[in-house]
Chain A
Amino acid sequence: MATRGRSGFCRSLPELELLLLAILVLLNGTVLSLESASSSEIHTGEGNNTSKKPFPVIGIVYDEVSIPFEISLWVLLASLMKLGFHLIPRLSNVVPESCLLISVGLLVGGILKLARDEVPPVLSDRIFFLCLLPPIILDAGYFLPIRPFVENIGTILMFAVVGTLWNAFFVGGLIYGVCQLAQDTYSEINLGNIGILPCLLFGSIISAVDPVAVLAVFEEIHINELLHILVFGESLLNDAVTVVLYHLFEEFMESGSVSAVDAILGLVSFLIVALGGVLVGAFYGILAAFTSRFTSHTRVIEPLFVFLYSYMAYLSAEVFHLSGIMSLIACGAVMRPYVEANISHKSHTTIKYFLKMWSSVSETLIFIFLGVATVDGEHHWDWIFITATLILCLVARVIGVVGLTFVINNFRIVKLTTKDQFIIAYGGLRGAIAFSLGFLLHTDHKKIFLTAIITVIFFTVFVQGMTIKPLVELLAVKKKHEAKRSINEEIHTRFLDHLLTGIEDICGHYGHHHWKNKLNRFNKKYVKKILIAGDRCKEPQLIAFYHKLEMKHAIRMVESGGGSKLNSSFPSTVSMQNIQPKIQSPPSARPAERALPQLTKGREEEIRQILRTNLQRTRQRLQSYNRHTLVVDPDEEGLDDLILKKRRMMELDWKIKEMTNYLTVPHAQGSPTMSRTRMASGRNTDFIPPQQKKGNKQSADSQAYVKPGAKGVPSIQIDLASPQSPDSVRLLDEVGQDQGLTMSLPSSSSRAYKTGGKDDDRDQQKLLRCLSDPGPSADEDEDEPIPT
């Protein structure tokens, strides 16, 4: 938002912008360097003065705030950098953000080194693992697309476990061989002195694909979902392998010898680390879900629970040397469906924005610190070692991916093509995790290892990061479908699921559809009842999805002058824009000017309020975990924007009405929203196509649950979507074939709006709760039923 505003103002002065930013950055750097200088001065100053000083009116006491001050300055620097990059559009298209950030880090590190001759040890492993990494991983885990992840879990695990093991041993072993071959007893560091175990340790550090780097680069190339989830999933799950290998080799190095028992224990330890991490995460996830069930009265702290439980999951896993990353992912993924059903809409938005914000800042900081730490730190550049490492890493990755794909393709239905394999291999970026682990090393050869690690990181991030986008274009790899998920997709996916489960049952084969179905039913029957408050556990997912789309439409309907009846209930974006150009001949007979119901100001406000509430409540589906383009719902931005489209809407309106003369789609009376707005507009504004008037059996006004014989009653009846038992639905269906919907439902029989007392409210609240968001207690009126 700020960027937009500023760029609007300074559109003619982008250089000035950048200059200002650069000045700010330099200020940051100099302040940082001045800090330590001034703090030391103060100390000496105080030491000298023992006589009585006059009362200090102004003084500099920096020590007390030094740490938070520095931290804030760093974060500020990182954020300003982010702003700056997006002001230069062309640059951010060519160079991925991570490269730019590392460069900035190098710059800042250089400045600091010049100013103070030493660089603050910013990328200490504690800061990294405890503060910088968790937000990114939580963001990834919370918004993990579960379906593609689980569908490809076999492939992902193969790559993560077997692939990483292969990489580690290949690189470690061969680098040892290279070192032995390149022995040079006269040089400063004799390569031959590096034993096999340190080499293997080095190999295990450098072999792991890094989630931070992968996220940073892949998010900008918009690759298709399958590849994204494969590489990303691999980068997340290989943490367990890395942890185990790292500790294993460290232990071996200290004890000095390896035995077969140790190897077996290593294997067992891997299973424990991985599964234990997941269990810990799932445990905390369930706790969080359960807690969120009771937060209906204290909405304000709901996001806090999500963050705290996740962080606790991470820390608990770290306590036991389990895989913290897997724990965090498991926690986020497990708690999400239940928590989202329980929390208010505002909390949902808060969680989303906080996670994106933190992870974004973390990522920026990590790359900057990587640059700074490169400048700092003692390096030993050994050509042979480093080039050998680089080449071996690349070769190992390629061989690993090709070999594994060959095996995996036998078990996959959608096979991985060569192009896919190339992208997977090329996308194996190393990042800050490798660096931090290298930092933790205690060997003699730490310097050379660190240099090599940094070189590999730089190479993968810069070279591979920059070239992957043009390569993707060149190879014409399938990109992500940007289109919204359509209702038909939803319907057919579900239908297929049921169909395939049924076929499996007939075959007698308990395939994965069968188990998935069982899990879903178990979930619905038991778990949801415990973890989700109130009636919300009953609402089917598609209904929520549908309601959300419909609310948007309803809002537009109201904004466009209120009450104009649109038969195209759902795809207001799709149908309107697509249908309109297809109408070639002008409508033959413009319908007589319909009196648009004039809404009073008060009514309009009411309607707007209702719709706003309901729209917000159904915005549950978050489809993107891309933090660079946090998709902004236009309705979130302001309903006022929609007023601008009023004219166009009304015109389209007329055209749609023409359409309905031909489309004998029966009245899409749709949702209670429609009925409420129609009601509120005070008149029966149904546009009844001629066919209906003839009593076409399929198209009686479904909204009006009129008892037979009471046609043409002007009073408007409503029937909110109260949950009915499936039996009654089926019964209605059969009866309804002949008479149109003229049956009256047992519980919610027709009533006029005016007398809609308690039942109305109850139904409505049930509906509203189905749409899952009673709102925070501060906005009390959102919870109240509509005043009659």
Chain B
Amino acid sequence: MLMINVFVSSVSTEQIKNLHMRFQQLCGNEKTLRKEHLENIPTLADNPIKTEIIKAFFDKRNQHNNELGSYEEIGFEEFLMVMSHFRPPSIKTSAEEKAAMRKRKVRFLFNMHDTDGDGKITLEEYRKVGIVEGLLSESESIGQEVARAIADAAMLEVASTNVPNMVREVTKITLALFLHFACPQILKDLEMESRMYVRFLDMNTANLHCGK
């Protein structure tokens, strides 16, 4: 419950209630959420990065308590914690808060890419998650070498627009680098803090669709 307090100022009680309802819906009869519950959501089945998304919910790194590894099952606090990454900034958030928000969101993305949890994204990870899965849905396909080439190109782009002494060592992207390129230079127009949000502000029970 301690963690909820951190967010209660920006996530209203209405939203928490809605999310709690949804959480219970997803869990079914049980108290905690497991991976199978999420996998059973029908609409999620077509999502190419479904595995990563589900893993993200169970990833300990997203709970911001500096642990590594993943849970087997999560409770509502963890669920809420993950969801809180998708809040939009309100008109009252200051510039520092926006920067902090962006950092958290980018960190979330980073964790999604960094599948082995070593704090760095290697070319393989980037290729697999970012490109092969992230870009293409089932009906599309991509040649091995094309995917590889795209990943190389992307990596080199990161390298080239960066701090000089990093150029020679770009085999993996560290969090610092990811943050750096998520901010001004490469993802310039994306404005992560505004882009990465979900309107669960407007959710009401009528809209909730049963995940089973």
Interface residues of A (CB under 8 A from B): 225, 409, 413-415, 481, 483, 486-489, 491-496, 498-514, 521, 524-525, 538-540, 542-543, 546, 549-550, 567-571, 574-575, 578-579, 582, 584, 659, 662-666, 668-671, 698, 702-703, 719, 721-726, 729-730, 732-733, 736-737, 741
What are 20 contact pairs spanning A and B, CB under 8 A? A413-B89, A491-B135, A494-B135, A499-B49, A503-B53, A503-B198, A505-B41, A512-B199, A540-B140, A568-B153, A569-B153, A570-B154, A571-B160, A578-B160, A662-B169, A668-B148, A668-B153, A670-B148, A671-B145, A703-B145
Q: Size band of the B side of the interface?
A: 35 or more
On whether the beta carbons of B123 and A665 are closer than 8 Å, the reply is yes
- Across the interface, which residues of A come within 8 angstroms of B91, CB to CB? 409, 415
**Chain A: which residue is nearest B193 at the CB level?**
A413
- Across the interface, which residues of A come within 8 angstroms of B100, CB to CB? none
On whether the beta carbons of B190 and A496 are closer than 8 Å, the reply is yes
Q: Which among A514, A550, A722 is the interface contact of B143 at CB below 8 angstroms?
A: A722
Q: Are A662 and B168 also in contact (CB < 8 A) when A488-B154, A492-B187, A499-B49 are?
A: yes
On whether the beta carbons of B144 and A741 are closer than 8 Å, the reply is yes
Q: Which among A500, A511, A538, A582 is the interface contact of B164 at CB below 8 angstroms?
A: A582
Tell me how far the C-beta of B46 lies from the nearest C-beta in chain A, rounded to whole angstroms.
7
Query: Knowing that A487-B154, A513-B198, A542-B150 are A-B contacts, what are 20 other residue pairs whose CB atoms are under 8 Å apart, sorted by A's residue number?
Result: A489-B189, A492-B190, A500-B198, A502-B47, A506-B53, A507-B19, A543-B142, A568-B153, A575-B159, A579-B167, A665-B155, A669-B149, A671-B149, A698-B123, A723-B141, A724-B141, A724-B143, A726-B141, A729-B142, A733-B132
**Chain B: which residue is nearest A669 at the CB level?**
B145
On whether the beta carbons of B136 and A491 are closer than 8 Å, the reply is no
Give A488 to B161 CA distance when docked, in angstroms: 12
- Across the interface, which residues of A come within 8 angstroms of B124, CB to CB? 698, 737
- Across the interface, which residues of A come within 8 angstroms of B139, CB to CB? 524-525, 538
- Across the interface, which residues of B come within 8 angstroms of A702, CB to CB? 144-145, 148
The 5 nearest A-B residue pairs measured at CB = A570-B153, A670-B149, A721-B143, A668-B152, A495-B134
On whether the beta carbons of A666 and B157 are closer than 8 Å, the reply is no
Q: Which among A543, A575, A662, A666 is the interface contact of B156 at CB below 8 angstroms?
A: A575
- Across the interface, which residues of B come within 8 angstroms of A505, CB to CB? 41, 43-44, 47
Tell me how far the C-beta of A514 lies from the nearest C-beta in chain B, rounded to whole angstroms.
7
Q: Are A546 and B143 also in contact (CB < 8 A) when A504-B198, A664-B171, A665-B170 are?
A: no
On whether the beta carbons of B144 and A514 are closer than 8 Å, the reply is no
Q: Are A413 and B171 also in contact (CB < 8 A) when A486-B186, A507-B22, A665-B155 are?
A: no
Give A659 to B166 CA distance when docked, in angstroms: 12
B157-184 residues at the A interface, CB under 8 angstroms: 157-161, 164, 167-171, 181-182
Q: Which among A513, A663, A729 is the interface contact of B144 at CB below 8 angstroms?
A: A729
- Across the interface, which residues of A come within 8 angstroms of B144, CB to CB? 702, 724, 729, 732, 736, 741
Tell me how far the C-beta of B83 lies from the nearest C-beta in chain A, rounded to whole angstroms.
7
Verify if B211 is at the interface (C-beta below 8 Å from A). Answer: yes
Q: Are A546 and B167 also in contact (CB < 8 A) when A508-B207, A511-B198 are?
A: no
B186-212 residues at the A interface, CB under 8 angstroms: 186-191, 194-200, 202-203, 207-211
Give A521 to B138 CA distance when docked, in angstroms: 10
**Chain A: which residue is nearest B37 at the CB level?**
A506
Tell me how far the C-beta of B194 lies from the nearest C-beta in chain A, rounded to whole angstroms.
5
Interface residues of B (CB under 8 A from A): 19, 22, 25-26, 38, 41, 43-44, 46-50, 53, 57, 83, 86, 88-89, 91, 109, 112, 123-124, 128, 130-132, 134-150, 152-161, 164, 167-171, 181-182, 186-191, 194-200, 202-203, 207-211
Give A570 to B148 CA distance when docked, in angstroms: 11
Q: Which among B145, B148, B211 is the interface contact of A719 at CB below 8 angstroms?
A: B145
On whether the beta carbons of B136 and A509 are closer than 8 Å, the reply is no
Give A664 to B124 CA distance when docked, in angstroms: 12
- Across the interface, which residues of B come within 8 angstroms of A546, CB to CB? 146, 149-150, 153
Q: Which among B135, B188, B203 is the interface contact of A495 at CB below 8 angstroms?
A: B135
**Chain B: which residue is nearest A492 at the CB level?**
B187
- Across the interface, which residues of A come within 8 angstroms of B200, CB to CB? 507, 509
Give A670 to B148 CA distance when docked, in angstroms: 7
Q: Which among B143, B148, B209 is the interface contact of A508 at CB below 8 angstroms?
A: B209
Main SS at interface, chain A: helix
Tell me how far the C-beta of B202 lies from the nearest C-beta in chain A, rounded to whole angstroms.
8
Give A413 to B195 CA distance when docked, in angstroms: 8
**Chain B: which residue is nearest A567 at the CB level?**
B152
- Across the interface, which residues of A come within 8 angstroms of B49, CB to CB? 495, 498-499, 502
On whether the beta carbons of A570 and B156 are closer than 8 Å, the reply is yes
Q: Are A665 and B156 also in contact (CB < 8 A) when A498-B49, A511-B198 are?
A: yes
Tell me how far the C-beta of A517 lies from the nearest C-beta in chain B, rounded to whole angstroms.
8
Tell me how far the C-beta of A530 lies from the nearest C-beta in chain B, rounded to whole angstroms.
15
On whether the beta carbons of B136 and A487 are closer than 8 Å, the reply is no
**Chain B: which residue is nearest A489 at the CB level?**
B187
The residue in B49, B156, B168 that gathers the most chain A C-beta atoms within 10 A of its C-beta is B156
- Across the interface, which residues of A come within 8 angstroms of B158, CB to CB? 488
- Across the interface, which residues of A come within 8 angstroms of B145, CB to CB? 669-671, 702-703, 719, 721
- Across the interface, which residues of A come within 8 angstroms of B195, CB to CB? 496
Q: Are A571 and B157 also in contact (CB < 8 A) when A414-B191, A509-B208, A524-B139 are?
A: yes
The residue in B132, B145, B200 that gathers the most chain A C-beta atoms within 10 A of its C-beta is B145
Give A494 to B123 CA distance when docked, in angstroms: 18
- Across the interface, which residues of A come within 8 angstroms of B161, CB to CB? 574, 578
On whether the beta carbons of A663 and B170 are closer than 8 Å, the reply is yes
Q: Which among A508, A511, A538, A671 is the interface contact of B141 at CB below 8 angstroms?
A: A538
Give A225 to B189 CA distance when docked, in angstroms: 10
**Chain A: which residue is nearest B56 at the CB level?**
A499
Tell me how far the C-beta of A172 lies from the nearest C-beta in chain B, rounded to whole angstroms.
35
- Across the interface, which residues of B come within 8 angstroms of A737, CB to CB? 124
On whether the beta carbons of A510 and B186 are closer than 8 Å, the reply is no
- Across the interface, which residues of A come within 8 angstroms of B160, CB to CB? 571, 574-575, 578-579
- Across the interface, which residues of B come within 8 angstroms of A659, CB to CB? 167-168
Give A234 to B198 CA distance when docked, in angstroms: 27
- Across the interface, which residues of A come within 8 angstroms of B209, CB to CB? 508, 510
Give A671 to B149 CA distance when docked, in angstroms: 7
- Across the interface, which residues of B come within 8 angstroms of A671, CB to CB? 145-146, 149
- Across the interface, which residues of A come within 8 angstroms of B164, CB to CB? 582, 584
- Across the interface, which residues of B come within 8 angstroms of A664, CB to CB? 171
Give A498 to B54 CA distance when docked, in angstroms: 13
Give A213 to B137 CA distance when docked, in angstroms: 42
Tell me how far the C-beta of B90 lies from the nearest C-beta in chain A, rounded to whole angstroms.
9
On whether the beta carbons of B143 and A665 are closer than 8 Å, the reply is no
- Across the interface, which residues of B come within 8 angstroms of A666, CB to CB? 123, 148, 152
On whether the beta carbons of B208 and A508 are closer than 8 Å, the reply is yes
- Across the interface, which residues of A come within 8 angstroms of B149, CB to CB? 546, 550, 569-570, 668-671
Q: Are A542 and B38 also in contact (CB < 8 A) when A665-B171, A702-B148 are?
A: no
Q: Are A571 and B53 also in contact (CB < 8 A) when A509-B208, A702-B144 are?
A: no
- Across the interface, which residues of A come within 8 angstroms of B50, CB to CB? 502
